[in-house]
Amino acid sequence: MNASTGALSFVAAPDFEAPGDANDDNVYELQVSVSDGTETVNQAVTVTITDIDDSTPTSGPTPVFGSIADDVFDAGATPPGFDGIEDFIFTGAGADLVDLTTTSSSSRAYGGSGDDELFGGTNDRLFGQSGEDILDSSEGGGSNRLYGGAGVDELIVGSGDRAFGGAGNDILEASNSTGDSRLYGGDGDDFFGLGAGDRIIAGNGDDQILWALAAAISLRAGLALTSSGW
């Protein structure tokens, strides 16, 4: 015990797995006495040692970088060691391909400046950026978000996904969806293909919407709208 501050400490750090007290229960008992030369005050103090989690902490997302060439990121295959799970993928320039469909994922893929193809798995975020990109989560497990960005992009979703066309005359496709997908056109003259139980916000521009006659859909149009069923 520090005589000036009263702070109590061990001479050597205790080990929960190897108790050093008398009965090996990690409870240390001691008597503290204070005297002013005339009177003495005693105080019983109990110190209990508890266990801590000393396992290796879980790491955060792993950054993965492409090059100026045409790169391929195929989860579990290429490049070596790339598993596509909780990764942040920056493809860089070039016409790149990212395939996360075989993983549980929760990754983010940023397409860069080329004409890229990004395929989502489950709970992924795909960003086309500039270029004429294809963003496809139709074979995934849902809860994906697709962002086309600048350029003329094609966004294809499965069930329970969201797609945001952004600028450009985009194609937003959900015809294979069984419901709960949302398509947001943004600026430009966009084309929407809808399945059952999906919703769209068409945005600005002369948009076209195509859906199955049996599909139950919800529409919110922008400035101009042309719709048809089959």
- Greater confidence, 4 or 222? 4
As a whole number, the mean pLDDT across the chain is: 84
What value does the mean pLDDT take over residues 8-17?
A: 80
CA–CA separation, 129 vs 216, rounded Å? 32
pLDDT at 206 over 90: no
CA–CA separation, 128 vs 191, rounded Å? 17
Identity (one letter) of the amino acid at 221? A
The answer to whether 26 touches 19, Cβ cutoff 8 Å, is: yes
Q: What pLDDT is attached to residue 23?
A: 81
What value does the mean pLDDT take over residues 103-111?
A: 90
